[in-house]
Amino acid sequence: MERITQIEQLFLRSRRLPWVLIGVTLLILAATILLASLQLRAEIRKQIAGRDGKVLHPVAIMQLEADAPELELLGPITDAANLLPVVLKTSRLLKSVVATRLFDANGRFVEAFPPDVREGALEPENLAALNRLKPVSHFLQAVPLSRLFLPEDDAPEPDKTMPLLEVNVPLHAGAENRLIGIAQFNIEGSGIAAEFQQLDRHLALQGLIAFFVGGGILVITITWAFRRLRQAHQLLAERTSSLLRANQELALVAKTSAVGAITSHLIHGLKNPLSGLQNFMSGLALPEAASPEADWGQAVIAARRMQSLINQVVNVLREEEGAVEYEIALSELAEMVSDKVRPLSAETGVRFVSRLNGEVVLPNRAANLVALILVNLTQNALQATRKGDAVTLSLTECGEQIVCEVRDEGPGLLPELTAHLFAPCRSSKEGGSGIGLAISKQLANHLGAQLELKSNSPAGCVFVLTVPTTNVASEKSRRASSTPIC
C-alpha cells in the first residue's frame, strides 16, 4: 500500500506526465480521425465512380426494350453481336464517352466503337458482380492512350495519359432477367478527378477542424483534471500535515501537564529543605570563615537564587489556583520581566533594553503566563548574545492586541533547528533541556496567543508573541488543572 502511494505521488508530482498524456491522447485522436477520413474517402469515391453506372444501367435496359423488335430482325436478341446499336444509342447520353466496348455474357470481347479501340477483357471479380445484374465502375487516375486505342500509321509520339472512368453495364431482357451482354463505357475522367481533389481538400479541412476542436477540448479537460487532482493532493497533504501537527501538540500538552504535576510535587518537596539549607549556610558564612578553599559566599548566593526561582513558580501556580483577581498594566508587566532577567543580563555582560508603547491592562493570571513566556524568551536571547551586545524587549499595544517582541544580536539559529523549533528536541545550549520553547508555545496556545519566529539571520533572531486582549480579558474564570502547592 505504501509502495502504491509512493508511485501515485511520483506521478502526481511529475511535471511531464500531463504533457505525455496529452501527447498520447492527441496522437490517438489524430489516428482515429485519419482512419475515419480514409474510410469515408473510399466510400464517397466509390459512390461518385458508380454514379454514372447507376444512370446508364436503366437507360440501357429501356433502350434495349425499345429496340427489341428491330433487333429481332437481325437475329436472336440473346446474340451479343446484335446489341451494339443499343450500346451506341446509350453512349450518346454522355458527351465525354471516348470509347465503347461490347462483351458477351461470358465476358468475351465482341466489338468496339470507334474501330481503333483495342480489344479488352473483364476482370473475374467484375464479371461475378455483372452476372448479378449490378453495374461496376472503376476510376483510373492515368491511363496510357496506347492501352485504349490502336497506334496510328504515322510516326509514334510519346505516349500520353488521361484520367478514365470505366463503367460496365449489364444488358438483360425478358422476364427472366438473364444476362445477355455487357456494355463497357470508357469516359474521360477529368471531371471526376476534379471532384476527387475537392473531396480530399474538404475531408482534410474537416479532419483538421475536428482535430483542433476535439484536441483543444481534450487538452483543456486533461489540464483541468490534473489541476484539480494536484489541488486535491495538495489539500490532502496540508490536512495530513495539520493532523500530524495537531497530534504532536496534543502529545506535547500531555507531556506539559505531566511536567506541571511533577514540578508541583518537586517544588513542594524542595521548598522547605532549600530554605533550611539557605539559613544554615548563611549562619556559617561568617567573615572569618571565608577563604578560597571554602567559597561560602558563592554558595549562599546560589541558594538564594534557587529559592527565588522556586518562589516565582510557586506564586504563579498559586495565583492560577487562587480566587484573587486583579489587573496588571503593560508597564508593570514590563517591569516584572525586567526584574527577573536583569541578574542574568549582568552576569552575561549583555545590555537589556525595555521599550513600552501602550496602556492596556491584563488580568493577573494572563499577565503571569505572558511574563513567564517573555522571561524564557529573554533569557534565551541573553544567553545567545555576545558580551557587549544588546537584547531588546518591546511591548506595543496594537488595537485589540499586545505585540511582544524579543530581539537579540546573536549568531541566529541553525537551519535544522527552525524546522521543529516549538517541538521538544535536544537543546543546542549546554545543560539545556530543549523544552523551553515548546512549553512557551503551549502557554501561548493556552492564552489564545500566537508565538512565532519572525526573523532568523546571522545578525540575530526576533521572536514575536501576539496576545489578543479581548480573549484574555473575557476569561477571568479560567483555572489551571494542577496539584495544589503548600
Burial of 343 (C-beta count, 10 Å sphere; 0-12/13-18/19+): exposed
Q: What one-letter code names the amino acid at 185?
A: F
* Block residue for cell numbers 477483357: 121
Q: What is the pLDDT of residue 430?
A: 47
Portions of the chain given CATH number 3.30.450.20: 11-150+158-188
Q: What is the pLDDT of residue 229?
A: 84
Q: How many helices (H) and strands (E) does the chain have?
A: 13, 12
Interval 265-282 mean pLDDT: 58
Which band of pLDDT confidence, cut at 50, 70 and 90, is reported for residue 255?
Answer: low
Interval 103-128 mean pLDDT: 89
Give 187-210 pLDDT, tens digit per residue.
998 989 999 999 999 999 999 999
Interval 414-431 mean pLDDT: 67
Q: What is the pLDDT of residue 173?
A: 74
How is domain 11-150+158-188 classified at the CATH fold level?
Answer: Beta-Lactamase (3.30.450)
Out of 1.10.3470.10, 3.30.565.10, 3.40.50.2300, 3.40.190.10, the CATH code matching 327-480 is 3.30.565.10
Interval 285-304 mean pLDDT: 52
Rounded CA-CA distance 69/72 in Å is 5
Dump the DSSP string for 333-382. Answer: HHHHHHHHHHHHHHHHT-EEEEEEE---EEEHHHHHHHHHHHHHHHHHHH
What are the cell numbers at 175? 422476364
Q: State the number of CA atoms in the 13 A half-sphere of 40 facing the CB.
A: 13
Q: Which one has a higher pLDDT value, 309 or 354?
A: 354
| 431 pLDDT above the threshold of 60 | no
Which band of pLDDT confidence, cut at 50, 70 and 90, is reported for residue 484?
Answer: very low
Rounded CA-CA distance 71/74 in Å is 5
What are the cell numbers at 76? 436472336
Which band of pLDDT confidence, cut at 50, 70 and 90, is reported for residue 483?
Answer: very low
Quick one: residue 434, left, alpha or beta (phi over 0 = left, psi -120 to 50 = alpha)?
left
What are the cell numbers at 469? 486582549
Cα–Cα nearest to 56, from 83, 98, 99, 86: 86
For the ranges 265-269, 430-434, 466-470, the one whose mean pLDDT is highest: 466-470
Rounded CA-CA distance 94/116 in Å is 20
| 470 pLDDT above the threshold of 80 | no
| 36 pLDDT above the threshold of 90 | yes
Q: Which one has a higher pLDDT value, 424 or 147?
A: 147
Interval 71-98 mean pLDDT: 80
- Backbone dihedral angles phi then psi of residue 142, each to the nearest 5 degrees: -145, 110
Interval 6-31 mean pLDDT: 76
Rounded CA-CA distance 466/453 in Å is 11
SS3 477: coil
Q: What is the pLDDT of residue 403?
A: 94
High-pLDDT (> 90) share of the chain, %: 30
Portions of the chain given CATH number 3.30.565.10: 327-480
160 near 144, Cβ under 8 Å? Answer: yes
Q: Which one has a higher pLDDT value, 445 or 466?
A: 466
Interval 348-374 mean pLDDT: 89
Residue 249: its H or E element: helix 190-284
Give 45-68 pLDDT, tens digit per residue.
999 988 888 888 888 888 888 887
Rounded CA-CA distance 298/421 in Å is 35
